[in-house]
Amino acid sequence: MDFHTEFKPLTVQPQEIEGKSFEIITEELGEHPFTEEQYPIVQRVIHASADFELGRSMVFHPDAVEAGIRAIREGRKIVADVQMVQVGISKPRIEKFGGSVHVYISDPDVIEEAKRLNTTRAIVATRKAVKEADGGIFAIGNAPTALLELIRLVKEGVARPGLIIGMPVGFVSAAESKEELAKLDIPFITNVGRKGGSTIVVAAVNALSIMAEKRG
């Protein structure tokens, strides 16, 4: 490798780079099982991760995309499991419809209650969130315990989310939590296996908000 070759920075616009990236993704992904409405979400997940295996592993409830778009356009709350997800979500498109993005894991009352119950903040934050975000989008990219608690609350009829985007990353309970999510008969977006994370969930939410905005 010649390390003395002069480096020439890219001079194209960001939109051109994104467009070219999407072309490469479509070409390299080839045939896939996703519907026309699901594919833009898969595409942005791959764009955020450069991971085609992750993209191919995604699973959608049949009503997931429409439910997500509807929740955004109705100004429903979006609940993130951690600040990293909250920060990554594009706020202007969400706020355009009267929505907002919330994360409860660092709230003082959540921290105190988690200590009192000797449980995780993710679990307590989920219990608080379901009381304040009925019909909203729950975006979980880091905490399998949050996803498992949300699933439990859904089964008990306590939680009524409009959409669950559950793609936590990790080695303990991450894959298992997604398996349980995929059994629910409510709108969800998930993936198979250990992969996932904040950037992946952010990509899915942002893809939905772009689609919601295009509706006019």
Q: What's the confidence (pLDDT) of residue 8?
A: 61
Is it the case that residue 13 has pLDDT exceeding 90?
no
Is it the case that residue 14 has pLDDT exceeding 80?
no
Strand partners, 137: 78, 163
Q: Is 15 left (phi over 0), alpha (psi -120 to 50) or beta?
A: alpha
Is it the case that residue 209 has pLDDT exceeding 90?
yes
Is it the case that residue 1 has pLDDT exceeding 70?
no
Q: What's the confidence (pLDDT) of residue 6?
A: 64
Does 152 fall in a domain? yes
pLDDT tens per residue, range 102-157? 999 999 999 999 999 999 999 999 999 999 999 999 999 999 999 999 999 999 99
pLDDT tens per residue, range 31-87? 999 999 999 999 999 999 999 999 999 999 999 999 999 999 999 999 999 999 999
Q: Can you list the positions of beta strands (E) in the chain?
A: 58-60, 78-80, 101-103, 137-140, 163-166, 188-191
Q: For 26-30, 107-111, 205-209, which range has the lowest pLDDT when averaged over its residues?
A: 26-30
Q: What's the confidence (pLDDT) of residue 71?
A: 98
Q: How many residues does the chain have?
A: 216
Domain that holds residue 147: 59-214
Q: What's the confidence (pLDDT) of residue 18?
A: 82
Does 10 fall in a domain? no
Domain count, the chain: 1
- How many C-beta neighbours within 10 Å does residue 210 have? 16
Does 3 fall in a domain? no
Task: Give the separation between CA 216 and CA 204, rounded to whole angstroms.
Answer: 20
Give the pair of three-digit tokens for residue 15: 């939109």
Does 46 fall in a domain? no
Catalytic residue numbers read: 47
What is the CATH classification number for the domain harbouring 160?
3.40.50.10230
Does 21 fall in a domain? no
Does 30 fall in a domain? no
Does 13 fall in a domain? no
pLDDT tens per residue, range 33-47? 999 999 999 999 999
Does 41 fall in a domain? no
* Cβ(189)–Cβ(204) below 8 Å: yes
